[in-house]
Chains A and B, each alone.
Chain A
Amino acid sequence: MSIIAHAGTNDSLRILIPTSVAPFYGTPPATLRDSRGVSYPAPSFELSAAFQMAGNITSITSDTHSVSVSLGSLTAEVASDFNPTRAHVSLRADKLLTNDIVLELKSVGLDRPRCLVQRRVVGNETTSALSLTLVPRFAATPISSQEYIFLVDRSGSMSGGRIRAVRDALQIMVRSLPSKGTTFNIFSFGDRCDSLWPTSVPYDKESVTNAASHIDHLDANYGGTEIARALQTVFDSRKSADSATQKPAAVFVLTDGEAWDLDRVFANVANTVKDVRGTRVFVLGVGNQVSTEVRIFESISLSRS
């Protein structure tokens, strides 16, 4: 399960409970390959979740499943003492669930800094567990000059509505870049990776016009999702620039995919961010099945290989 904190507004949390793992692209480890193709009996499924928030819960909804919600108590039964900071959600299905369960919870004061402590005494050992959470509110100093790189997933799975929505969003993004001190570039990736320009170009009338028509021709016709190589290509395009005058860069990855060998991807990104001053990577996950939590499987494949 994972909690996607950044659900757009500060008063909502999105909770994702994966029921399956989104399809990965690439070659799975041999141990997993052999186990493919087994048929599953449809297990009955039951989800019960209790919510205790600091502030009043204003709503709990799910766009993905029909859940039953009872506000005011921690159990499905209505409690005699209605407590607006509590809620209970349940879901039962006798069929195999085909997509992840997404719950969205809105509550008052969710963004306030909070630090909870809970004590545990086992024998003569005492431990205190603390959980700190906050949604920072501060006016960030604008970065006066920056390189903006968009890396767009054009693999087959992006076809149809997804790539269309991405095209629209990119048009807005390109117009939203600061008109001064900006350079930018658009990379496409799938099983190959290419870019509109070899390296980023200054933001001006001509480059924006070219980018706009380029964006409207982005189709999902690039095959698989070779994200490791794509990120490397993006980082390489920065290395070729004169390091003395190099701007910091923000790389935006737009993808719906999953890929194997993520550890190498993460390590590569982390190293690049450490080495090349001022590179940051932002990610937009598109689609209901973007797995955010595949750690269990990562660990399995890691320990077996």
Chain B
Amino acid sequence: MCDGIARAGRGVATYVREAEKPDAKLVGLLKSARGAPVDNVSVDWGVPPEPVDDFDMVEPTEAPAASTPAAPSTAPISLFDDTSATIQQPELGPTDIEVQLPPVPRLQQAPARADQLPPLYPGDRFSLFAIISGEASSALPQSIKISGTMNGAPVTLDVAVEAAPTELAPKDQGAVPFIHTLAARALIQDIEDAAKPSPLTALAKAQIARLGTTYSLASSQTSFVAIDERAEQIAAKPADPEVSHSNLSEDCGEVDYEREESDDDMGFGLFDGGGTPVTFASSPVLSGIAATLSAPPGAVSRQKLAVSADEESDDDMGFALMDDDVSVPVQTSGVPAQTPPAPVQAPELSISSLARTQQFDGSFPATDSFIIADLQLGTVPVPPPQLVGGEVKQAVWNTILALAVIKKRFSTPEERIACEFMEDKAKEWILETIVDELGVAGDEAEKQFALWMGLAESHVN
């Protein structure tokens, strides 16, 4: 559903799993939405345009009394076809309207129509398939060209064509090669999409059936018939609704009702859980180190965020060391102090908790309580002299501190994506404000910002 809606809406679909924070994915979508995509995408596969097709594409509205069965043949229709009568057997169920299919075009591309090609977004994978019919002697295409427009300006990309690795070649003679299978599947999907929401036309059904049978694919029009050599034992089975219902895990190729009981070669767990981030917050080792530090009186306890082990190791200073002379970057005392895994009292510092405090213009509140309660810095760091006095100056300093906290605390790739626009807006606001209201020269603003940012970062460990 999600893919379909995004495809129809010329946007992007993305997914988050249950245990995953949606922040980065959603901001990623916003990133796509804030920019103009590349539209009017087309691909030149190096195939000369089709000669004008004189094939009559008119859809038969009802079953003609005598027509040839669907076949990729252009042979003239005989007015008296001996075989035709024998095919007309009365059948149960829906009767298919028979159509004469046009021959397979030289180039079949999925998605086929130019207006159906998805727009290109930075970072959003774009995939396209084609099947080109040709002579056995014809050379493989050397390169293909993607073209499109962005805000009216043309964009192009040439991509070299490589031969698929030989490992992808089918092992059995006659089996369909892998890329053909994928391409045919995409072609079928494209035909089905094009028809929606109307039911498939007879021509579309015939096209799907041809693709399905040519490339051995199950589709809305084609099915595999399972033939079991022990048919007498299980003759009644296929009719059993238990087998035909919605479990996709059944094997299409060959029916095997024997349950595989042996599980001694399962080998589970080798790479088990590799994707789960490990939280070090409650590690007993860290608690031990923490116990040797004494928190300054009045320091607000801070919950340790889950970090990876190597981040933990880069001279991480305990905040207990930095409560006095805060305008000077704190010296490490040689103690490889760890941030104490403090008991959870204050609300967890998160990107969303900071988002809740950010103003619409990108600034953060000009209050000390923001620094203590929201940024969860133990103390209020002394601002640089130029940012002392007045609400605007405090807002600038607090916003710089917020940026420093965001930068230091949220450093995983996902967190970086989630914070990106909040940071951009905050920085933009700071630059504008220090130029417009604090009299910093326009060309000095970036440099001044970087200096203050460095100072602020030294207060955040």
Contacts and interface: CB of A to CB of B under 8 A. Distances in A.
Interface of A: 2, 4-6, 8-10, 14, 18-21, 35, 38-41, 43-46, 52, 59-64, 66-69, 74, 76, 86, 90, 92, 94, 96-97, 102, 104, 111, 113-122, 124-143, 146, 148, 161-162, 165-179, 203-205, 207-209, 212, 216, 227, 231, 250-255, 257-259, 262-267, 269-270, 272-273, 279-288, 290-292, 294-297, 299-300, 302-303
Contact of A267 (B8, B12, B25): B8
Contacts of A288: 17-18
Nearest to A132: B128
Given A127-B131, A133-B127, A302-B200, A169 B1 contact: no
Given A44-B259, A286-B15, 11 more contacts: A5-B127, A40-B247, A68-B267, A132-B146, A138-B150, A172-B23, A175-B362, A175-B421, A176-B27, A267-B8, A284-B16
Given A35-B245, A68-B270, A143-B35, A273 B10 contact: yes
Interface residues of chain A: helix, strand, loop or mixed (majority): mixed
Interface in B356-394: 356, 358-362
Contact of A179 (B9, B129, B163, B361): B361
Contact of A281 (B6, B160, B182): B6
A121 B136 contact: yes
Given A44-B260, A61-B275, A175 B131 contact: no
B183 A136 contact: no
B43 A169 contact: no
B408 interface: no
Chain B interface size range: 35 or more
B37 interface: yes
A280 B23 contact: no
A175 B422 contact: yes
B425 to A, nearest CB: 6
A38 B30 CA distance: 43
Contacts of A68: 266-271
B102 interface: no
B286 interface: no
Contact of B352 (A9, A59, A169): A169
Contact of B136 (A67, A126, A141, A263): A126
Nearest to B45: A130
B225 interface: no
Contacts of A111: 125
A133 B161 CA distance: 11
Interface in B167-199: 167-169, 174, 176-180, 182-184, 189, 192-193, 196-197, 199
